[in-house]
Amino acid sequence: MSDVVETEDAVEVDEVREAQLEALGSELGDAIVETFVKPGDDIWVRVSREAWVEAATVLRHELGFGFFNFLSAIDWMPSPYGRDMDSQVDVTLEGAEPKEPEPMEWGYAGGATRFQMLARVNDVTTARGVTLKADLPDDDLSIRTWIPVYAGANWHEREASEMFGIDFVGHPNLRKLYLPGAFEGYPMRKDFALLSRRIKPWPGIVDVEPMPGDDDGDGNGDGNT
């Protein structure tokens, strides 16, 4: 029998990632709001909006995260339409009591506002990455551009601006990528109704073809012989 005693409460520690997080903290100080380290996987760091560009600068020039992976935003507000545009499980029958909205929840490193910035950078020499987050106040959806630090953020910021309505201060050309110039609204916001899907659900929800053997033998599935 082994003399090694294993405890269920043992906590795995990722010394390399913890050291990287400590180095980032020494540079940013109180600008770091919350962090989370998943050993062997990733680091999540939420910083203040004011330190968004400073955090990118430190990660690239001080800590060696020279590869820009992606930048986007997320709307954490539960959809006021429920999930009926995808699966109709939340469709409320006429006359029924409306369902209570789900509480707002955030992922690793938390959050405090509906809209949040997300970006990921990597160190190609070690294959490690950092996911950076920053809260955006509802009354001021703006943040400084990452382009001077990571030029590859250019079209990512254009997309986030077009889809979420975020203003990237200092971006040289926030023109649209996908939508017509006169298009109104921001399709990735949870309160943007996909009207075509409220009229007709996604194919496969209602327009379900019968399985083989479910018809009456005429191959049409309509019961007519």
Orientation of helix 15-28 relative to helix 52-61, angle to 10°: 130
Quick check: is 3 in a domain?
Answer: no
Residues 180 and 143 in one domain: yes
Residues 203 and 172 in one domain: no
- In this prediction, residue 11 carries a pLDDT of 63
Domain housing 153: 15-88+101-191
Q: What does pTM read for this prediction?
A: 0.76
Residues 174 and 221 in one domain: no
Q: For the chain, which residues score pLDDT lower than 50?
A: 1-9, 85, 93, 204-208, 217, 219-221, 223-225
Quick check: is 2 in a domain?
Answer: no
Residues 55 and 37 in one domain: yes
- In this prediction, residue 3 carries a pLDDT of 43
Residues 185 and 199 in one domain: no
pLDDT digits (tens, 9 = 90+) for 51-101: 999 999 999 999 999 999 999 999 998 877 665 545 555 555 455 555 666
Residue 106: partners with Cβ closer than 8 Å, 6 or more residues away = 76, 116
Residues 110 and 219 in one domain: no
Considering its fold, how many domains does the chain have in total?
A: 2
Work out whether the CA dihedral 52, 145, 128, 66 comes out positive or negative: negative
* Residue 178, domain CATH: 3.30.460.80
Residues 122 and 201 in one domain: no
What would the two tokens of residue 49 be? 């909006």
